[in-house]
Amino acid sequence: MNTARILSIAAVAAFASMGAQAFEANGELYGSEIESRFQSTRTRAEVRAEGQKALPEFAKGPIADRAALVQSTRERPAVRSEGVMAARANLIAIGERS
C-alpha cells in the first residue's frame, strides 16, 4: 500500500508540474512563436531617430493657447484677499464636506 501511495503522489506531482508549464501541444510557450515570426519594416536607426525627434515634446501635454491669450482683469492681491475671506466664512468646501 505504501508503494501505491508513493506512486500516486509522484504521478500527481508530475501532472501538476507539467500543467504549471503552460505549454501548448503545438510547441508554443507564452506566445514566443508569434514574436519570433514578426518581421520589422523599419530599421533600428529609423526608430531611434523618431524617438529622438519626439523627445523634446514628451510629456508636455496639450498647450493651452486660449488660456495664454486671456488677460486677467483683476489684480493678484484682490483675488487672494477674496479667497482668504471666503475661507474664513467657511464658503470653500474642504475635506469630507466637499
Grid coordinates of 31: 506566445
> Please, what are the averages of pLDDT over each run of 10 residues along the chain (98 residues)?
82 70 57 64 92 81 64 90 91 73
Give the Cα separation of 18 and 32 in Å (integer).
18
**pLDDT at residue 76, as a whole number:** 92
Tell me what pLDDT residue 35 has. Answer: 60
pLDDT at 45: 94
Secondary structure letter of residue 41 according to DSSP: S
| pTM for the predicted model, two decimal places | 0.29
